[in-house]
Structure 1
Amino acid sequence: MPAILLVRHGQASFGVGDYDRLSDHGRRQARALGGDLHRRGWRIGRVVHGDLRRQRETADELLAGYAVAPGPAVARGARVERDVPRSVDPRWNEFDHEGLVARLPDRHRRQIASAIGVVRGREPSAVFQDLLEAALEHWIDGAEDAVQGSYSVFAADARAALEAVVAEPPADGVPVVVSSAGTISVVCGALLGMDRRGWLQLNRVMANSALTTVVSGRRGLTLVGFNDHSHLEGPGRPHRTTR
């Protein structure tokens, strides 16, 4: 298996009642990536995603964009989206980011409030990001979350999910995994030999619909590309977002 393509979901609906669905912009991002994969000549053999709605919808839009785009894959008889085998593996799900923030101990919330102060006009997403990173650090330090479970289990499940993709019989094309920033970052951090906090740096910068490439070879799994969002660059393309 030469490569595994890991895709972060498109922009979800932050600040709306149901976060777990793509925004219209997120749908355009996923379609743009699908078209770009086609133009690059990637042949999609199968798609795996978690059971979150935003991951499933990203897979839908990616395959739709892939099916209609012109490019080298057409000449090689690329499948349309309905022909690509799909499967669901919940180990590719994201951690419960909203739940972790909601259950962050009060002492941590007070420390954050003291550190950032009350800034008029500060973006809600920026405030949420500060709370999220504090909640993640608390979780990484070994806090067992009643709903989420432990960070160690989350990280082990993500790596096992990747190993399961590698263990599948070779398909007629590359496997595409649609997941989330935290899950993909945990996998990448492990491949790079980062410590527990290292993956937070990766998680912080990953763009919606970004492409990460892992190669499986004689020496095991190697990360060869991370957070590629070139399909969002240029006139008429959906702009880059991280939340």
Structure 2
Amino acid sequence: MSVLYLVRHGQASFGTDDYDRLSDLGKEQSRITGRFLAAQGIEPDRIVHGEMLRQRQTAEGLLEGMGLSMDAHVDSGWNEYAAWELTGVLDDVDPRAKHDSKIFQGELERGAARWASGEHDEDYTETYKQFTSRVERALDDAVAAMESGQTTIVVSSAGAIAWTAARLIGGGFDQWMAFNRVTINTGITKIITGRGGTSLISFNDHGHQDPKDATYR
């Protein structure tokens, strides 16, 4: 069997003018995660991340923590959906959502339900169906690239990782949203693949982080 680890990016910069970059805590979370993976004897044959800066910075932190020097592969299929677009098309967004992560989460879920309904596809640069399809392709590509017994680490974001988990348990929007809601920065999701297919083994493991440093954005 081969193993695929999906790692959510470290804490980004919510509430600033540029969310797509790691905070100082996010950078340290990434290094801690790398040290944890190395301590578990995990030696990746391949590391992949999406195109987003926070994903690349997290991959760099993982490698630093693991004491490894290797080139990462970039796959845009692991990019996150456009969260601000989902809330931006709502008529009555709570203005506090820009700086209050709890309020933002509620507005995001309202926007996601509208997005996933398929009734307003013209309002989005990427439809819900297009998002889920590209994440599924990225997963299939990551699995296909591994030879038997190999290990790959993928750095992505909450939405893409949550959809991967939902797909593997045969779930849909409700399962996706439930996973998406609780995904913690640098949480680790483990997937195995072999003759029996591709299976979800664990989701959002974050025991390597100090509880006081656990973050969701």
TM-score range, shorter chain: over 0.9
Q: Tell me whether 1:66 sits opposite 2:40 in the alignment.
A: no
- Tell me which residue corresponds to 2:213: 239
Q: Paired residue for 1:99, among 63, 71, 85?
A: 85
TM superposition score normalised by structure 1: 0.83
**4+ runs deviating over 2 angstroms:** 145-148, 169-173
Matching of residues 161-200 of structure 1 within 5 Å:
161-170=138-147, 173-200=150-177
CA displacement, residues 65-109 of structure 1 (integer Å, 9 cap, x when unaligned): 110xxxxxxxxxxxx22xx231111010000111211122x2xx3
Q: d(CA) in 2 for partners of 1:11 and 1:169?
A: 29
- From the superposition, tell whether residues 169 and 182 of structure 1 become closer, same or farther in structure 2 (CA, over 3 Å): closer
In the alignment, residue 226 of structure 1 is paired with which amino acid? Answer: F
Contact 1:22/1:54 (CA < 8 Å) preserved in 2? yes
- From the superposition, tell whether residues 66 and 145 of structure 1 become closer, same or farther in structure 2 (CA, over 3 Å): farther
- From the superposition, tell whether residues 171 and 88 of structure 1 become closer, same or farther in structure 2 (CA, over 3 Å): farther
- Tell me which residue corresponds to 2:202: 225
- Tell me which residue corresponds to 2:53: 53
- Tell me which residue corresponds to 2:135: 158
Judge which range, 7-16 or 217-226, deviates more: 217-226
CA displacement, residues 143-176 of structure 1 (integer Å, 9 cap, x when unaligned): 3154432101110110110110111142884110
Contact 1:181/1:206 (CA < 8 Å) preserved in 2? yes
Q: Paired residue for 1:124, among 100, 104, 108?
A: 100
Identity %: 39
- Tell me which residue corresponds to 1:74: none
TM superposition score normalised by structure 2: 0.92
In the alignment, residue 242 of structure 1 is paired with which amino acid? Answer: Y
CA shift, 1:233, in A, is 3.1
Larger C-alpha radius of gyration, 1 or 2? 1
CA RMSD of aligned residues (A): 2.0
For structure 1, the 5+ residue unaligned runs are 68-79
Contact 1:139/1:145 (CA < 8 Å) preserved in 2? no
For structure 2, the 5+ residue unaligned runs are none
- Tell me which residue corresponds to 1:204: 181
- How many residue pairs match? The answer is 214
Matching of residues 134-145 of structure 1 within 5 Å:
134-142=110-118, 143-145=120-122
